[in-house]
Amino acid sequence: MFPERRVKLFKNGRNQVVRIPPEFEPPGEDAIMRKEGERLIIEPTLPKSLLALLVTLAPIDEEFPPSLDPHPEPVEL
């Protein structure tokens, strides 16, 4: 966990902006911001699709055991 840091606040037009140090940068291009009492919380957003989430996962390097469920017998309708 990173220690806390003092950051600079400044104005950009009508918006107040905070400089986020590199060690605190959230991944991606979007984040969710909310207030809890006097605390301002910034969290990264979840990927927008299942495919985007799957791309972020590490590959599985283990072999799966064979299936013990036999194939069903053909049925004539």
At 36 the pLDDT is 95
The 10s digit of each residue's pLDDT in 1-46 is 668 889 999 999 999 999 999 999 988 888 999 999 999 999 998 7
* pTM: predicted TM-score of the whole model, two decimal places: 0.52
- Res 69: pLDDT: 84
C-alpha separations of 8 from 17, 20, 53, 66 in Å: 8, 9, 33, 58
The C-alpha atoms of residue 9 and residue 28 are separated, in whole angstroms, by: 22
Q: What are the φ/ψ torsions at residue 34 (nearest 5 degrees)?
A: -150, 160
For residues 45 and 33, what is the distance between their CA atoms, to the nearest angstrom? 10
74 CB neighbour count, 10 Å cutoff: 5
**Is the predicted pLDDT of residue 55 greater than 90, yes or no?**
no
Please report where in the chains the tokens 């064979």 appear, as a residue.
66
- All structural domains of the chain with their residue ranges: 1-43
Contact present, 16 and 9 (Cβ < 8 Å) = yes
